[in-house]
């Protein structure tokens, strides 16, 4: 499942994993974890060599339970630290470093392989196009930037008009960075279904994804 920030990927992907009894992987959390450590270590995120070296040294432990997708770096839990505004605003720069992407994509593909034969729901920005191009089910989840800004502000505990406007501007900036980066940009895979969650509830989106899974399964059999 791919899509921009605030589209509802994490909520939907975790619920799909629960409903189908599958594992779950939030690849964005991995990039956020590297970003958080870079910021904490006062590494210049524009220094690609320094960021790449950090990613190479970092030992990421990633949970794949949809009810507890914990993540740790070098043995330290970072779940609470990686969802801050500072990390959110810096992660696109870190994720654009080709060496970081190669390192983390390889780890993501390893986690996917280890999830066999149970299966796994993976969410991010390049899953269907790069990480798992042969996945039988691909979903691109989107929503209007206004709705995504409201959702993200709510996640951050911010509800004021100024907060939402700030988040909207940050989302617009990140959309541009993620869609135009040279390494594995955010894109809609040719064989993905596109769901716009702007006017849909989480349950509506989950139901539609499950129906699509049934259609794919029926065609395969």
pLDDT at 159: 64
pLDDT at 162: 74
Instruction: Provide φ and ψ at 92, rounded to 5°.
Output: -60, -40
Write out the binding residues for ATP. 3-11
pTM, to two decimals = 0.93
pLDDT 10s digits, 48-90:
999 999 999 999 999 999 999 999 999 999 999 999 989 999 9
Q: Please name the residue that has the structure tokens 């190669």.
A: 102
For helices 98-114 and 85-95, angle between their N-to-C axes, nearest 10 degrees: 100
Q: Does domain 9-220 have CATH number 3.40.50.300?
A: yes
Task: With beta carbons less than 8 A apart as the criterion, state whether 64 and 24 touch.
Answer: yes
For the chain, the domains span 9-220
pLDDT 10s digits, 82-130:
999 899 999 999 999 999 999 999 999 999 999 999 999 999 999 999 9
Q: Do β-strands 193-196 and 139-142 pair in parallel, antiparallel, or remain unpaired?
A: parallel
Query: Would you say residue 157 has pLDDT above 80?
Result: no
What is the mean pLDDT of the segment spanning 184-195?
A: 93
pLDDT at 220: 86
């Amino acid at each position: 499942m791919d899509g921009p920030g605030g589209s509802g990927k994490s909520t939907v992907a975790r619920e799909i994993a629960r409903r189908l009894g599958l594992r779950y992987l939030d690849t964005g959390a991995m990039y956020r974890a590297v970003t958080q450590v870079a910021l904490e270590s006062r590494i210049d995120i524009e220094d690609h060599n320094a960021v790449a070296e950090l990613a190479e040294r970092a030992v990421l432990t990633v949970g794949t339970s949809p009810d507890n997708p914990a993540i740790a770096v070098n043995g330290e839990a970072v779940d609470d630290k990686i969802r801050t505004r500072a990390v959110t605003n810096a992660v696109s720069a870190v994720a654009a470093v080709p060496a970081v992407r190669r390192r983390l994509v390889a780890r993501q593909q390893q986690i996917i392989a280890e999830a066999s034969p149970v299966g796994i729901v993976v969410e991010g920005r390049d899953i269907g196009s790069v990480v798992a191009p042969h996945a039988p089910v691909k979903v691109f989840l989107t929503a209007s930037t206004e709705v995504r800004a409201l959702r993200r502000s709510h996640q951050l505990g911010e509800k004021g008009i100024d907060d939402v406007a700030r988040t909207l501007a940050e989302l617009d900036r990140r959309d541009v960075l993620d869609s135009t980066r040279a390494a594995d940009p955010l894109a809609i895979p040719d064989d993905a279904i596109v769901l716009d969650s702007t006017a849909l509830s989480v349950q509506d989106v989950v139901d539609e994804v499950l129906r699509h899974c049934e259609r794919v399964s029926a065609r395969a059999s």
